[in-house]
Amino acid sequence: MGQARDVMDRLTAAITTADPKGIAELYAQDAVAVTPDGGELHGRDDITAYWRQMAEMIPDGRYESVHSYEVGNTAIDEGFFTGRNTGPIQLPTGETLPATQKEIRIRGVDFATVDDGGHIVDYRLYFDEMEFLGQLGLLPPA
């Protein structure tokens, strides 16, 4: 196992245990992350805040790995994020919705590129945001 794989595995553990300090330590100060629901995030603090909101929204979040790879200095994971929405939902507008108490199971893929110092400098997360909102019961009836 190389450095990128180790860092990605530590990030997954920090996210699922809601460890903001552990998450922050894994990102470079000037890291960039791209997410479906948060857009492009710049810097360790904004990225850590994104994960903190996710942990508050789904505090019992778990990750089930389907595939994991390492190519050079980039780790790639595919899997399912599952849990129950028991915390407030932060919207991009700044509004907050109450918890839906709904279970979610979302397939996602993430990429983490790591520098020589063992910090994530570029992070990409992909999941179907409409499926996520649908499972939360936040989409209008079809």
User: What is the distance of C-alpha 98 from the center of its chain?
Assistant: 20
- What are the structure tokens assigned to 110, written together? 């993430």
CA distances from 95 to 12, 26, 98, 138 (A): 27, 29, 10, 14
The closest of 137, 109, 140, 107 to 123, measured between CA atoms, is 109
Chunked mean pLDDT (size 10), the chain, 142 residues: 95 95 98 95 97 95 97 98 96 88 98 98 96 93 78
The closest of 103, 53, 97, 96 to 82, measured between CA atoms, is 103
pTM (predicted TM-score): 0.93
Residue 16: what pLDDT?
94
